[in-house]
Amino acid sequence: MHYKINLMKLLKNIFFFYKEGFKNMSTTSKRLWLIIFLKLIIMFGVLKVFFFKNYLNERYETDTEKIEHISDELTKIPNK
pLDDT band at 18 (very low <50, low <70, confident <90, very high): confident
DSSP 3-state of 76: coil
**pLDDT at residue number 63:** 92
Percent of the chain clearing pLDDT 70 (strictly above): 94
The answer to the question of residue 80 being in a domain is no
The answer to the question of residue 53 being in a domain is yes
- pLDDT exceeds 70 at position 2: no
- pLDDT exceeds 60 at position 1: no
Question: What is the average per-residue pLDDT within 51-70?
Answer: 87
- Given a contact cutoff of 8 angstroms between Cβ atoms, the answer to whether 50 and 58 are in contact is no
Rounded to whole angstroms, how far apart are CA atoms 37 and 43?
10
> Which tens digits make up the pLDDT trace of 32-50?
989 999 999 988 888 777 7
The answer to the question of residue 20 being in a domain is yes
Number of domains forming the structure of the chain: 1
